[in-house]
Structure 1
Amino acid sequence: MTILTRIANRPDALADVIAVIDRDGGVIVEDFISQETLAALKQDLLPLVAAVDTGKDDFFGKRTRRLSNLFAHTRHCAGIVTHPLFLEAAKHFICVPRKVWSGDEQMTSSCDVQIGVGQVIQIGPGEGAQPIHRDDGAFMWSRSYGREARLQIMIALSDFTRENGGTLVIPGSHKWDDDRPPVMSDVVSTEMKAGSALLFLGGTFHAGGQNRTSGELRTGLTIALDASNVRQEENLYLSLAPERVAEFPEQVQRLLGWSTSGRSLGWIEIDGIQSDPNELLARLNPASAAALA
């Protein structure tokens, strides 16, 4: 039976993580976050999740609760999106250089990565399995492009098991063409302890699992890092006030989308000049700007 490969969270694991994702489309990194961070995330987020309504259809789950806008609710996501095994793996798969023409000059161009969406997803008892899908379908990505646009992480805030709705994954499906349909007989369940994480590509077929328990909640925190030339799925510009974004380190600000991609995407006009929006954040938080100087 096919199972998902597990890798320990260690400083020299990046090459192994990349190799397994390239082969299987996903990998489990054990103990991705510390127990202290796990406890802090649960303290900040679980009361808020309990207060939101469940979904209204089979995709979003009639017994599943979702909490978005995570960076407005907790500061402990910053270490997740900057973790080398996540961020550097995302850059490896997404920031692939390509040749482009500008007039009679051919140049090498590459995008950066940014946060596309973040949610806590809590699957309640009695929830059925979600339809199997690819997340990069949100921006109509095609396997024919020969490149990836998303690397996603699902961190277990509670233990993930086959019985309580552990994320379903079809290993190797990121290499399938657009015409091959997913079938339930190909899926494997993500089973991991709280604090561990599943990293998977946007082109990997997956789904929330069926919760067959009588009273067990399956809670996970997911964040996607996307190609910066693809529009963010969650509109973080409107859901996060600039003053709030300015409180985060510059690296996190840029991951939230307050940055330019190459020379032509994401700029704002400041004093009549096409500028990096990060300059606006520096004006909102001079103390942070001085610390970065």
Structure 2
Amino acid sequence: MTVGTENGAAKPELIHVRPDADLDHVVEILDREGAVVVEDFADATTLAGLREDLGPGLEESGYSESGYDGVKTKRLSGLFKRSTQMSSVVTQPLYLGSARRLLQKPTHCWIGKVRMEVTPSIQVSFTQAIRIDPGQGRQPLHRDDAMHLWRHPGPPCRLQLMLAMTDFTSANGATLVIPRSHHWDDERPPTYAETIPAVMPAGSALLWQGGVYHGGGANTTDSPRYSLSVALDLGNLRQEENQYLAVPRETVQTLPEEVQRLLGWDRCPPGLGQVETQDPHLLLERTPQELVGMPRGANPLM
């Protein structure tokens, strides 16, 4: 299968858009192709801050012992406690806007004779800085929503990003993607011959649905490839990375409310994540004892 570019180039590559692209257009690409590259996703200041904040931790990290994670690959998690730049990454309009469009689909349930309309929340499920060093081979191709044993075809449960902190090339380990593979069923295996490398300059970001087959490429150069990844999942699924333990409460209190809620300090309708039947966001300013004395919510599922 060949995916053409919007500029008519003959060489197969992923579709690239600018950061001021129309959100409807980006969502349409993600629906159809499953993946898109947003150029200039992060500005120079954000990128420099991320490198400064995350570089030392990656240097100190050990290599993985598993072939899946990469024996010449270093990984660093808990990024919201490590860099103040993460808020601007997760709230970038095309990323957060696309995630809300794709994942937050209204649904309903019956409470007695009342048809209750609900829209699920979304949450940060996973954060990781990645350094693929020279000599690292290709990662096994996989779907990230396999973490939730998600079935295909079907509606998405995740939108993930890979931010290039250095240039991504075919030689240094650019992420390998199989466009449109989110439409496949669960019996069709992926092959490397079907992949397209996400070649992009530093500061660009690859966005892809959780059902898209992908994997890190091989680094045959003499320099490391740096990146970071964030996943936004449906709020009714368990987070892949336990953000309540990964990010201290004191750090969460310094973040914008939208980011606090994305990290899980929120209640997913109709009532998942509640504390004393209350919105857990209240715990950033109140004690659990104070929540007990507050008026109870009117939600019948609470």
TM-score class, shorter-chain normalisation, is: over 0.9
**Per-residue deviation, residues 122-168 of structure 1 (Å, max 9, x unmatched):** 11101010000000000101114x21100001000010000000000
Q: The residue matched to 1:92 in structure 2 has which SS? A: helix
Cα shift at 1:15:
1.6
Distance 1:241 1:119 in 2: 17
Identify the match of residue 207 of structure 2 among 171, 189, 199.
199
Cα shift at 1:25:
0.4
RMSD: 1.2
Cα shift at 1:279:
0.7
Distance 1:251 1:102 in 2: 30
Which amino acid in 1 is paired with 2:76? L
Which amino acid in 1 is paired with 2:265? W
Task: Tell whether 2:187 aligns with 1:179.
Answer: yes
Which amino acid in 1 is paired with 2:157? A
Q: The residue matched to 1:268 in structure 2 has which SS? A: coil
Q: Residue 230 of structure 2 aligns with which residue?
A: 223
Q: Residue 291 of structure 2 aligns with which residue?
A: none
Map 1:144-159 onto structure 2 (within 5 A).
144=153, 146-159=154-167
- TM-score, normalisation: structure 1: 0.92
Q: Residue 280 of structure 1 aligns with which residue?
A: 283
Contact 1:7/1:13 (<8 A) preserved: no
Q: Which runs of structure 1 show a deviation greater than 6 angstroms over 4 or more consecutive aligned residues?
A: none
Distance 2:55 2:32 in 1: 34
Number of equivalent positions:
277
Identify the match of residue 128 of structure 2 among 110, 119, 136.
119
Cα shift at 1:106:
2.4
Map 1:21-40 onto structure 2 (within 5 A).
21-40=30-49
Distance 1:38 1:13 in 2: 23
- TM-score, normalisation: structure 2: 0.89
Task: Tell whether 2:253 aligns with 1:246.
Answer: yes
Please list every run of 5 or more consecutive structure 2 residues that lacks an aligned counterpart in the other structure: 1-10, 288-302
Contact 1:154/1:198 (<8 A) preserved: yes
Distance 1:80 1:138 in 2: 23
Q: Residue 265 of structure 2 aligns with which residue?
A: 258
Q: Residue 15 of structure 2 aligns with which residue?
A: 5
Cα shift at 1:108:
2.2
**Aligned residues: percent identity?**
43
Q: The residue matched to 1:248 in structure 2 has which SS? A: coil
Map 1:89-100 onto structure 2 (within 5 A).
89-100=98-109
Cα shift at 1:174:
0.7
Q: Residue 208 of structure 1 aligns with which residue?
A: 216
Distance 2:247 2:122 in 1: 19
Cα shift at 1:26:
0.3
**Per-residue deviation, residues 177-202 of structure 1 (Å, max 9, x unmatched):** 11111011100001111100000000
Distance 1:103 1:211 in 2: 58
Distance 1:29 1:137 in 2: 25
Identify the match of residue 176 of structure 2 among 168, 174, 179.
168
Distance 1:155 1:24 in 2: 19
Identify the match of residue 25 of structure 2 among 16, 22, 31.
16
